[in-house]
A and B are shown apart, each in its own frame.
Chain A
Amino acid sequence: MKRIGVVFAAALLCYAYAFNHVDAVYATDEKAHLTAPPSMSVIKATLPYLQQLTGEVLYVKTAVYIGSVIKHKLNIQPELLANNFETMQKVHPYLFDVYHMENAYMRDMGDPYVKRSIAMLKDGMIKLPNEWRLPFYIAFNYFYVLKDNSSAYQYLHKATELSGNKFFSHLASVLSAKDGELKAGIIWLKALYENETVQIEREGLLKDIQAYEKAIMVQNKVYQYKQIEGSFPTKLENLIPNYLPSLPAIEAKFEILYDDELGLISLQRPRKST
């Protein structure tokens, strides 16, 4: 009996040590939270009736991964994330949450990923032809990230047709104006802000809106300068102190650009390396 007790205690110690080691490794290695998913073909071949549920499980797993990345301020793995979204979309193209999430996160991962996001959203439009949010997301990505206003305008019109919302119509007309990017941008951001339910996303959008408002204010001062002085300022610092006490501080994720020939202010997101 005593021997069994000793063996049991030794086994328990070994188990506790191994458990502690493995658990610590798992907790610190963010890669362990999200392994590459089995390919879409494997899921479809082995789980025909359950492929939708598998897509949803992958969605939950990805949501947990993104949550841990935000919480622990880790670097996101863009390729892995994009693969996951593509697998989810292929096995369950009818689940709207996938489009909502991939659009929210892939648009900040660089142009190639935004293009992949747009491709997924376009596939989604075939499966969910009455869903106005899909062309709206596509239009937003074309405008906000890829700076392709004509494509954005086209998809925004599609969103208007599907939703019957006059607001989008107004936005499309502002966007079609050649120099209306800042004003169109702020309307767009406010629309997204109103529709966003995730607090962390709302905070990010609010910061963007504030940056746009500051840029529009500087743009107005540039036009005022032209009216009084007869020409555009050669640099923005020339507005100080008669037109502005100082240049406003813009959110770090934007660069403020100034074209002294046209007197145009624009905001640009610094390109992220992929």
Chain B
Amino acid sequence: MVDSIKRIQALAKIIFLDGMRRHAVIGLVGLALISEMFGLIFLDFFAQDLGRAVSDFLFSTMWVTGLIFLFFHAVQVMAWDEEHKVIFGIISRPISRSEYVIGVGLGLAMLLLLLEAVLGGLAFAALLWVKSSVVIELYFQVFNYTHFILAWFGLVLSLLVVLSAILLFSGVVRGGFAVLMMSISYYFIASGLPLAREHISTLVQQGGANAALEYILQGLSFLFPDLNRMDYKNFILVDVLPVSVSEISMQAMLSAAYIVLALSVACFAYNKRDIQ
């Protein structure tokens, strides 16, 4: 077990360093900075709710940057190893396929965490600066540091859920493009499903749809979790948390369990796959 953890750590470190060497993080931080500079013009249009507009913009930038990292870097990692036959060099060593999948996942998660930590730090500094520069307090009354950290964790956790799905698809199918298409489809289904559920639920209440459809959609949401549930950025500007801590903990546990499940299935599928 200890040896297995050491091997996973070693592989994760290689993936992390490889990502740094390919400037995956630095390039995206640069992109995010340009976006935030553009945001200064955008934010000039807001007369009243300046704090909310700033925090929304910064968190959206972090979210988009995270998605770009996942869809343009993370999707390619396992596919690249296969296409360039690097995988044979790795698994010819005493490392199992499961360890390989987990190691890649851990390495990518570390890169994602580093990226979001840098962007989160910049966002925190930007919010502090904007709050101190606002003359009329009414326009930016509250900046709650604890809720900012909660919102950051929510964002990272939802990106990790997407990452786990990408690893699952990488374990199941061959080729970066196929994984990318499946990952994008997954993202859109996960995003649209809550709305479809809401709509069908209303129809069922009015007698316009079969209740079985509601159960089918509920079953689908087991596979495609609602990513929006971990969007806590609206809490940054309030002193009192509008939801209970237990509710947030339950949501975090749900996401963590989903990630573990997706990785388990990815390991299982990759063990069974013919990678020749």
Contacts of B57 in A (CB 8 A): 53, 56
CA distance A48 to B194 in the complex (A): 10
Q: Does B42 lie at the interface of the complex (its beta carbon under 8 Å from any beta carbon of A)?
A: yes
Of the residues B53, B196, B226, B231, contact of A97 by C-beta under 8 Å:
B53
CA distance A28 to B67 in the complex (A): 38
Q: Does A240 lie at the interface of the complex (its beta carbon under 8 Å from any beta carbon of B)?
A: no
Given A45-B195, A56-B56, A94-B234: A50 in contact with B45 (beta carbons within 8 A): no
Q: Does A63 lie at the interface of the complex (its beta carbon under 8 Å from any beta carbon of B)?
A: yes
Contacts of A100 in B (CB 8 A): 47-48
Asked whether B64 lies within 8 Å of A97 as measured between CB atoms, the reply is: no
B interface footprint on A80-101 (CB within 8 Å = 1, 0 otherwise): 0000000000001011110010
Asked whether B191 lies within 8 Å of A95 as measured between CB atoms, the reply is: no
Residues 153 to 210 of chain B near chain A (Cβ within 8 Å): 155, 158, 188, 191-192, 194-196, 199
Chain A residues within CB distance 8 Å of chain B: 41, 44-50, 52-53, 56-57, 59-60, 63-64, 92, 94-97, 100, 197-198
Asked whether A48 lies within 8 Å of B49 as measured between CB atoms, the reply is: no
Interface of A is mostly: helix
Of the residues A41, A60, A96, A198, contact of B195 by C-beta under 8 Å:
A41
Contacts of A197 in B (CB 8 A): 47
Q: Does B218 lie at the interface of the complex (its beta carbon under 8 Å from any beta carbon of A)?
A: no
A interface footprint on B203-247 (CB within 8 Å = 1, 0 otherwise): 000000000000000000000001110010110000000000000
Asked whether A59 lies within 8 Å of B45 as measured between CB atoms, the reply is: yes
Contacts of A48 in B (CB 8 A): 191, 194, 226-228, 231
Q: Which of B48, B192, B228 has the most chain A CB atoms inside 10 A of its CB? A: B48
Min C-beta distance of B40 to chain A, whole Å: 13
CA distance A57 to B192 in the complex (A): 21
Contacts of A50 in B (CB 8 A): 60, 63-64
Contacts of B56 in A (CB 8 A): 52-53, 56, 92, 95
Asked whether B48 lies within 8 Å of A44 as measured between CB atoms, the reply is: no
12 further interface pairs, Cβ-Cβ under 8 Å (given A48-B228, A52-B234, A59-B45): A45-B192, A46-B191, A47-B191, A48-B227, A50-B60, A52-B56, A53-B56, A56-B46, A56-B57, A94-B52, A94-B234, A100-B47
CA distance A59 to B49 in the complex (A): 12
Nearest residue, chain B, Cβ from A133: B48
Contacts of A57 in B (CB 8 A): 42
CA distance A50 to B233 in the complex (A): 11
CA distance A48 to B198 in the complex (A): 14
